Structure 1
């Protein structure tokens, strides 16, 4: 658990977070528009600026109070920035060795060094000079270096912002698996809703230097006015895993994870580009405008995914448009954005059974 109330002035900008508290387990996304104070709050929590004032606790440990502040190096935080900030005069191996040498002595047996190298995919890069790395390679080394320091907490400030789309996709998959499997509490700054929906367990929404609200990802995606819904409109994020389809490298099954023992998994067809992919636990992002609705199953149609749902509720999402929140058999939530005219024409109402139609071409594994 993180609990605090921090203030910090940097130039013309003032952070005045107000009281906040959130679970530290998993991934917490700090989300807001540019200039909302995300990076300043992260710096304050990391102890990187001695002018920070206020209180901060991590579990039962006081990191800052009105009288003293624990130095940044004693907070045992692994930092990953937008620009990797590697040691230019060392090789990749030298960067990892330097981080490992500064790890707390009582945690040298924590995260295995060889596992870090393998999991981050940097083994072929160990003897390379960091100046000869691509952007995606530099960020892989940056996450490996952060882990080599045996941190209790990871803090990442827009680590994917400077990468192209392919490198982002690869790093998202890496972050998703490494953070989940190693179980390190992680704070992630991002302005990209897609990264929040793929990685986060909860969201700290910020505006004008203050923490506005803290919500679980399910709560944040469960309201039509969510700041995560940008020009793309409402989105759902489903928990599950991927399974290959025999004799077809361009299709995958996504099998959802029921929220309760009574829930039944939902299976969806996905398109796939044929590259090797992690078939373990994954999240599937489904845009509301890719979900059509029908009063029942439809025959002789190209749409392969026809999912039985129940209408949970409906909210206006834009002028003349409605977000229809749907409960699946596994207890998870899907959302469809349709016109208000369609709501009236189909006579939709809460509690009503409905069929969601999702093109497999709209879902990429």
Structure 2
């Protein structure tokens, strides 16, 4: 399905002027607070009536201000996943799920209750009430309820923002399953680069109410000119294949022909994974390093350099595994004589890649 969005609207001091088209999968609206992400989602949902615009999902027109067409929210066939589960406290999990199914016309009931329960891993929760669930469990049930309503599009507005790191790590794999197991397109709002790296098919970067970049997740995250949430969150996305699991607890990967080692990944050999490598975890060396405890060394060539307002620089490095970003000081860059085209080696500690930064393709 193709998602087509064109919205113009004044929201207080923010002038929203957004236009993009996205292919099937997870389209992530990525940007800092106040960039207009939630306003776009609310306009798609019909909770905000923009001054001008048009939105359609695979030809299903939600509104067109020029043609004076406007579908009310309850007729748009959308599923909305909020920061909180917003489940009915007096109903069991099964009853909450069946309630969502009640809204789906018979001909639009694409997914069975059994499949949704299995994919979301909530079978053991069915007889329980929301008050007895953790935050992550509530979100999984909320996702299932939204799916069973037979939506043409799922909206997810910062769905992990209210969860701690442990609960985020718990629920992210279920969003991956949602992306891979169902055909419903998803418009997902976040300011977390880790969530972009794990989930995004397409990234739309917003700044000041405007689209400043759009593309595949690996292209957008590895662009040193695009840092919507600040340089501290900078990092690149690599895709690697699981080779084998070693007895010492490490998993060996093949990243474009380069071996990499990470703490155990729960994926079978042959499976591909996404790896987000934070720029501040990458060390650069002009010569091939020797005698280091770090196991991951990727040779490459400097592609671009971007100076920050302070003493730091962001270096984009082309490697056989993909594009990496490294955050270093200007002093270090000068000492290493780094210029575009210079050969160097990226050094990454095995334990520097957090479980939250490893996901399925």
Fold shared by both chains (TM-score > 0.5): yes
- The answer to whether the 8 Å contact 2:234/2:325 transfers is yes
Shift of the 308–50 alpha-carbon distance from structure 1 to 2, 3 Å rule, reads closer
* Structure 1 residues 51 and 358: alpha-carbon distance in aligned structure 2, compared to 1, 3 A threshold: closer
CA distance in 1, matches of 2:296, 2:133: 42
Residues 310 and 193 (structure 1), Cα distance of their counterparts in 2 relative to 1, 3 Å cut: same
The TM-score normalised by the length of structure 2 is 0.87
Contact 1:22 1:214 in 2 (8 A): no
Name 1:30's counterpart in structure 2.
Answer: 29
Cα distance in structure 2, aligned partners of 1:19 and 1:318: 28
Residue of 317, 320, 326 corresponding to 2:317: 326
SS in 2 for 1:306: strand
Shift of 1:141: 0.5
Match of 1:17, SS? strand
Is the 1:292–1:358 Cα contact (8 Å) retained in structure 2? Answer: yes
Report the secondary structure of 2:160's partner residue: coil
**CA spacing shift, 1:77–1:303, aligned 2, 3 Å:** same
2:325 match: 335
After TM superposition, give the deviation of residue 33 of structure 1 in Å: 3.0
TM, length-normalised to structure 1: 0.86
Work out which of the residue numbers 303, 313, 319 in structure 1 matches 2:294.
303
Q: Partner residue of 2:344?
A: 354
Question: Aligned match of 1:312 in 298, 303, 314?
Answer: 303
* Aligned mates of 1:281, 1:306 — CA distance in 2: 20
| Deviating 4+ runs (over 6 angstroms) | none
Query: Would you say the 8 A contact 1:224–1:317 is kept in 2?
Result: no
Corresponding residue number in structure 1 for 2:107: 106
The aligned runs of 1:179-190 (5 Å cut-off) are: 179-190=179-190
Contact 2:207 2:228 in 1 (8 A): no
Distance 1:51 1:353, change over 3 A: closer
Matched residues in 2 for 1:278 and 1:79: separation? 30
Residue of structure 2 equivalent to 1:75: 76
Shift of 1:23: 1.0
| 2:258 counterpart of 1:266 | yes
Give the 3-state SS of the residue equivalent to 2:288 in structure 1: coil
For the pair 1:143 / 2:162, whether they are aligned, the reply is no
For structure 1, the 5+ residue unaligned runs are: 257-263
CA 1:212/1:19 → structure 2, altered by over 3 Å: closer, same or farther?
Answer: closer
Specify the SS of the correspondent of 2:290: coil
2:210 maps to 1:211: yes
Q: Which residue of 1 aligns with 2:97?
A: 96
Of 88-97 and 337-346, deviating more is 337-346
Tell me the distance in 2 between the aligned counterparts of 1:98 and 1:43: 23
- The answer to whether the 8 A contact 1:82-1:161 is kept is yes
2:226 pairs with 1:226? yes
1:64-93 deviation digits (Å, cap 9, x = unpaired): 113121233433222110011112221100
Q: Distance in 2 between matches of 1:73 and 1:266?
A: 51
Contact 2:93 2:129 in 1 (8 A): yes
For residues 293-329 of structure 1, the C-alpha deviation after alignment (integer angstroms, 9 at most, x for no partner) is 2223222221111112222222223433222211121
Identify if the C-alpha distance between structure 1 residues 230 and 283 changes in structure 2 by more than 3 Å, giving closer, same or farther: same
- Go from structure 1 to structure 2 and tell me whether the alpha carbon gap of 1:15 and 1:319 turns closer, same or farther (over 3 Å shift): closer
Let me know the Cα RMSD of the aligned residues. 2.5
